[in-house]
């Protein structure tokens, strides 16, 4: 049997697993076994197995083929991976799947399908406005939210309009419907794209004089929407109610305001793991502050190509103040990645493209090719494939307070998995963007599989 045929048969076997799992986690009998593969736990570099067993919605065990196949019973669906790679399902630390899918002509159902086809099993929903929660609960109760969704309730809007502490009507960090949870409060520290306006983002006194005329035309003279004291009060109020904050900060002035406000906000806010989103422009003096205030930066590597569309915004010698993924990785304990989809570059939702972008100084992923010009990433700013994958699995789970359940593969954790065509840790950098997702599982159930590999029906 050829390797391809073997995989087709195997994956068709897995189709049967779309039915609800019957085997309880407490049982030592697996409901699903994936073996003969490369199972990357994402816990510690080098912790790699060949097989994984699932019981119901949870991981039962990881080990050798022999160890794991011994857990099979008469009802177990056994899948030969034929050398394919299993990773924890990808977690998108910054997306707008529910709110903004219509912007690119997709329904919620289509956006969910697209995310799952990219191996995304969890996503932060970064702007939830008053009235949205109930709508999303109805969707979740109807089974239409298939990728776990973590809601960030908006303190203010992208034009700077203030909603206030309406989020207090909800309980933080709890699941409120199937695969739907309340994750935190979103605060725009600066204005973003507002209606038909172009982004108006401030960069601080250091960077503003460096802008080219083309760059300056895109960036207004806005200042952050809050003083450090006022923002600290907002963060503290959220923390007192148990909510982490996620702060939109693209320019260095907003990053500075966010980080110093967090320092003022105190230990309770730090313990709740605040997030700083975008971080496109970061000065040297700000890099140590993230860890100091307990903040996790969330970056959007593919989306960041849009910076280049502003054309010669900064002289080349200042390229290292932009897209500092490598510097952020070196100076922070936790660094997460997101897509900001559907804002930004087409294809930004794909973690595989994001991976290719993070590890490549050439920045030639297919998604970026459709945005021009897309300048090369500074060679100093690439990160290792291991770190890039952590940014989309373990560290993203940490950012969402889900590291006990998601983001790494270990017995007892939720069985959110993705099967990739090759091992991204050994794939040559130039070929990373060609990796494809074969199967995506949430709660131990197949939510998506590659139609080209498995014939319909």
Q: How far is the CB of 280 from Zn ion (least distance, A)?
A: 12
Q: Which of 97, 122, 63, 151 is nearest to 406 (CA)?
A: 122
DSSP 178-240: TTEEEEEEEEESS----TTSPP----HHHHGGG--HHHHHHS-----SS-HHHHHHHHHHHHH
Using a 10 angstrom Cβ sphere, with 0-12 exposed, 13-18 middle and 19 or more buried, the burial of residue 282 is: buried
Q: Which is nearer to Zn ion, 273 or 278 (CB)?
A: 278
Q: How far is the CB of 267 from Zn ion (least distance, A)?
A: 28
Q: Which is nearer to Zn ion, 96 or 179 (CB)?
A: 96
3-state secondary structure 272-300: CCCEEEECCECCHHHCCHHHHCCCEEEEC
Q: Which is nearer to Zn ion, 112 or 449 (CB)?
A: 112
Q: Which is nearer to Zn ion, 237 or 340 (CB)?
A: 340
**Total residues at interface with Zn ion (CB under 5 A):** 2
Contact 186, 154 (CB under 8 A): yes
Span of 24-32, 266-274, 323-331, 336-344 interacting with Zn ion by CB under 5 A: 336-344
Cα 455–chain centre separation: 30
Q: Taking CB under 5 A as the rule, which mask of x and - marks residues 126-155 in contact with Zn ion?
A: x-----------------------------
Contact 242, 173 (CB under 8 A): yes
Q: Taking CB under 5 A as the rule, which mask of x and - marks residues 101-130 in contact with Zn ion?
A: -------------------------x----
Strands of the sheet containing 48-49, edge to edge, are: 48-49, 38-40, 85-88, 417-420, 437-442, 445-449
Look up residue 384 and give its two tokens. Answer: 């290792």
Q: Which is nearer to Zn ion, 228 or 340 (CB)?
A: 340
Q: Does the footprint of Zn ion cover residue 100 (CB under 5 A)? A: no
Question: Which SS3 state, helix, strand or coil, does residue 175 take?
Answer: strand
**Rounded to whole angstroms, how far apart are CA atoms 322 and 279?**
9
Contact 369, 360 (CB under 8 A): no
**Rounded to whole angstroms, how far apart are CA atoms 350 and 123?**
12
Q: How far is the CB of 186 from Zn ion (least distance, A)?
A: 9
Q: How far is the CB of 188 from Zn ion (least distance, A)?
A: 10
Residue among 57, 237, 340, 443 that touches Zn ion (CB under 5 A): 340
418-421 contacts, C-beta under 8 A, 24 or more apart: 418/86, 418/87, 418/88, 418/89, 418/90, 418/119, 418/121, 419/34, 419/37, 419/81, 419/84, 419/85, 419/86, 420/84, 420/85, 420/86, 420/87, 420/119, 420/352, 421/84, 421/85
**Rounded to whole angstroms, how far apart are CA atoms 147 and 435?**
21
Q: Which is nearer to Zn ion, 297 or 424 (CB)?
A: 297
Q: Which is nearer to Zn ion, 68 or 126 (CB)?
A: 126
Q: How far is the CB of 299 from Zn ion (least distance, A)?
A: 12
Q: At what angle do helices 228-240 and 252-265 cross, to 10 degrees?
A: 50
Q: Which of 61, 3, 43 is nearest to 51 (CA)?
A: 61
Span of 106-114, 338-346, 388-396, 436-444 interacting with Zn ion by CB under 5 A: 338-346
Q: Which is nearer to Zn ion, 256 or 340 (CB)?
A: 340
Q: Which is nearer to Zn ion, 344 or 407 (CB)?
A: 344
Q: How far is the CB of 313 from Zn ion (least distance, A)?
A: 20
Q: How far is the CB of 12 from Zn ion (least distance, A)?
A: 38
Q: Which is nearer to Zn ion, 192 or 331 (CB)?
A: 192
Q: How far is the CB of 144 from Zn ion (least distance, A)?
A: 22
Phi-psi region of 229 (alpha: psi -120 to 50; beta: other; left: phi over 0): alpha
Closest CB to Zn ion: residue number: 340
Q: How far is the CB of 96 from Zn ion (least distance, A)?
A: 6
Span of 27-35, 212-220, 340-348, 424-432 interacting with Zn ion by CB under 5 A: 340-348
Q: Which is nearer to Zn ion, 58 or 278 (CB)?
A: 278
Q: Which is nearer to Zn ion, 125 or 402 (CB)?
A: 125
**Pairing verdict, β 85-88 and 120-128:** unpaired
**Pairing verdict, β 51-55 and 30-35:** antiparallel
Which residues are near Zn ion by CB under 5 A?
A: 126, 340
């Amino acid at each position: 049997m050829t390797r391809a045929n073997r995989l087709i048969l195997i994956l068709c076997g897995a189709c049967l697993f779309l039915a609800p799992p019957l085997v309880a986690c407490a049982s030592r009998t697996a409901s699903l076994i994936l073996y003969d593969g490369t199972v990357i736990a994402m816990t510690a570099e080098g912790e790699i197995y060949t097989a994984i067993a699932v019981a119901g919605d949870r991981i039962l065990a990881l080990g050798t083929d022999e160890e794991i196949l011994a857990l099979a019973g008469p009802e177990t669906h056994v899948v030969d991976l034929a050398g394919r790679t299993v990773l924890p399902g990808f977690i998108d630390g910054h997306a707008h799947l529910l709110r903004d899918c219509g912007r690119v002509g997709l329904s919620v159902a289509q956006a969910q399908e697209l995310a799952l086809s990219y191996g995304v099993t969890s996503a932060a929903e970064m702007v939830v406005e008053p009235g949205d929660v109930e709508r999303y609960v109805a969707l979740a109760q109807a089974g239409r939210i298939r990728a776990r969704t973590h809601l960030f309730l908006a303190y203010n809007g992208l034009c700077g309009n203030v909603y206030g502490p309406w989020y207090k009507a909800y309980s933080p960090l709890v699941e409120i419907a199937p695969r739907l949870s309340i994750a935190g409060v979103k605060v725009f520290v600066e204005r973003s794209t507002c209606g038909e306006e172009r982004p108006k983002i401030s960069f601080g006194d250091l960077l503003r004089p460096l802008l080219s005329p083309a760059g300056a035309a895109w960036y207004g003279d806005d200042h952050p929407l809050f003083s450090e004291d006022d923002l600290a009060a907002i963060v503290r109020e959220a923390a007192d109610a148990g909510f982490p904050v996620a702060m939109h900060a693209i320019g260095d002035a907003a990053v500075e305001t966010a980080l110093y406000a967090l320092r003022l906000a105190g230990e309770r806010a730090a313990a709740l793991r605040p997030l700083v989103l975008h971080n496109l422009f970061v000065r040297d003096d700000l890099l140590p502050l993230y860890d100091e205030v307990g903040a996790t930066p969330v970056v959007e590597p593919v989306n960041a190509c849009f910076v280049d569309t502003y054309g010669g915004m900064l002289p080349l010698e200042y390229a290292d103040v932009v897209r500092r993924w490598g510097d952020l990785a070196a100076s922070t304990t936790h660094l997460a990645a997101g897509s900001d989809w559907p804002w930004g570059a087409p294809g930004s939702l794909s973690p595989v493209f994001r991976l290719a972008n993070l590890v490549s100084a050439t920045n030639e992923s297919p998604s970026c090719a459709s945005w021009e010009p897309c300048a090369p990433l500074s060679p100093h700013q690439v990160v290792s494939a291991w770190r890039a994958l952590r940014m989309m699995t373990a560290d993203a789970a940490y950012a969402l307070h889900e590291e006990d359940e998601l983001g790494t593969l270990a017995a007892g954790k939720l069985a959110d998995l993705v099967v990739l065509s090759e091992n991204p840790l050994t794939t040559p950098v130039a070929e990373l963007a060609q990796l494809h997702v074969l199967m995506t599982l949430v709660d131990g159930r197949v939510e998506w599989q590659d139609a080209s590999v498995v014939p319909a029906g």
